[in-house]
Amino acid sequence: MGNPQKRKGDKYEVDLAKWFNENIFNEERCQRAPLSGGGKIGLQAGGADILGTPDVFIEAKRVERLNVRDAMRQAERNIDQTKSPEAPVVVTRRNQEALDDSLVVMRLKDWRHMYAALLEKRGFL
């Protein structure tokens, strides 16, 4: 049967990938990373949980209580290991929350680039 917590986390990753496909890209670009949640592909471990999200390295967490700093450190460690250029992003939700109510956590230094790009696109900068 497997671990129920792992299945819950795996489903959240699948649901997040689908959410990105439907709400951001309007086509199937994103998918749950194969063996995310501790697996290895070849010698490499610790990739992003969602593939196909340019410029962001997503660490997905579906838990009732989350230490966001630990989750961010995990994402940053994985970025270092994989030499990824993306910004670390933690996406999390609790059990009874709707997927759309997931929280997105970023470091301020990374968020400012995205916010500035939005303001520039909208003509405020």
pLDDT score at 42: 45
Q: How far apart are the first and last CA of the chain?
A: 54
Residue 44 parent element (H or E):
strand 44-45
Q: Is the pLDDT of residue 112 over 60?
A: yes
pLDDT in tens, 44-80: 556 999 999 999 999 999 999 999 999 999 999 999 9
- CATH number at 111 reads 3.40.1350
Residue whose token pair is 């709400």 = 23
Total domains in the chain come to 1
Retrieve residue 41's tokens. 């592909």
Give percent of the chain with pLDDT exceeding 90: 84
Q: Is the pLDDT of residue 43 over 60?
A: no
User: Three-state SS string across 48-104, please?
Assistant: CCEECCCCEEEEEEECCCCCHHHHHHHHHHHHHHHCCCCEEEEEEECCCCCHHHCEE
Give percent of the chain with pLDDT exceeding 70: 91
Gap between the Cα atoms of 83 and 47, Å rounded = 10
> With 0-12 CB in 10 A as exposed, 13-18 as middle and 19+ as buried, what is 93?
buried
Residue 14 parent element (H or E):
helix 4-20
Gap between the Cα atoms of 27 and 6, Å rounded = 27
With bands split at pLDDT 50, 70 and 90, how would you rate the model's confidence at 38?
low
Residue 30, domain extent: 4-121
Q: Is the pLDDT of residue 1 over 80?
A: no
